[in-house]
Structure 1
Amino acid sequence: MAVSEFTDANFAAEVLESGGAVLVDVWASWCGPCRLMAPLMDWAASDYGDRLKVGKLEADGNPQSRDGFRIQGLPTLILFKAGQEVARHEGAMAKPQLKAFLDAHL
């Protein structure tokens, strides 16, 4: 499964109204650690695609979603289940950490 692109326009339909689990990667083009997370989002979409929708939300271009979820630092990963936030991690992480984060909440 491919990584989705979330925006202010589609966030409610794609994330908040989703009946399943959704991992949102809040990032910015100027954020070095965010670029390190991009391959891990591809990995998560591939390895967890049967249980999880994975998508990216560009922080600067989507202020309504960014501010609505009180994003303080980048990257920020937010895991939603049935439209509710169930877990959050701020900062980059390695693949084993991401796997543990997902396994703990799925």
Structure 2
Amino acid sequence: MSEKNGALIEVTDATFADVVLKSDRPVVVDFWAEWCAPCKVLERSLNELSAEFGDRVVFTKLDSDNNPETARAYKVMSMPTLIVFRNGEVVASAIGNRPKMALRQFLETGIAG
């Protein structure tokens, strides 16, 4: 898995279990779609937060249109949807875009534990 500070790692139905569920760190999954304008805004904020959080959290994104199995498994119905996983379990989720400060607070709460 290649990981750069400030860049979201793309996951797919095929790689989801290895990258997200088996991670030894909390993982944020951004469920997005190409047609979703708020998703593009959210991705910019997540890239910035990824640099801030550094090695504490793995930031990923999953194109829901091209990876329907995972989106269906987690009942993702709206874009964007953020789900935080810790030890393979869902610990927090949020639907829609929000200001970066609110995202930071959501992530801090989601990864605490």
Matches within 5 A, 1:3-82: 3-82=8-87
> Which segments of 5 or more consecutive residues in structure 1 lack a partner in the other structure?
none
**Cα shift readout 1:47-84 (whole Å, capped 9, x = no counterpart):** 11221000100000001101010001000000000111
**Cα shift readout 1:22-60 (whole Å, capped 9, x = no counterpart):** 000000010011111111111121011221000100000
What is the TM-score when the length of structure 2 is the normalising length?
0.90
Share of identical aligned residues, percent?
Answer: 38
How many residues get paired? Answer: 106
What is the TM-score when the length of structure 1 is the normalising length?
0.96
Q: Relative to total residues, which structure has the larger strand share, 1 or 2?
A: 1
- Who is 1:103 aligned against? 108
CA-atom RMSD, angstroms?
0.8
Q: How big is the shift at 1:19?
A: 1.7
User: Which residue identity is paired with 1:69?
Assistant: Y
User: Which residue identity is paired with 1:18?
Assistant: S
> Which segments of 5 or more consecutive residues in structure 2 lack a partner in the other structure?
none
Tell me, in whole angstroms, the C-alpha distance in 2 between the residues paired with 1:71 and 1:88: 10
Q: Which runs of 4+ in 1 moved over 2 A?
A: none
Tell me, in whole angstroms, the C-alpha distance in 1 between the residues paired with 2:14 and 2:46: 21
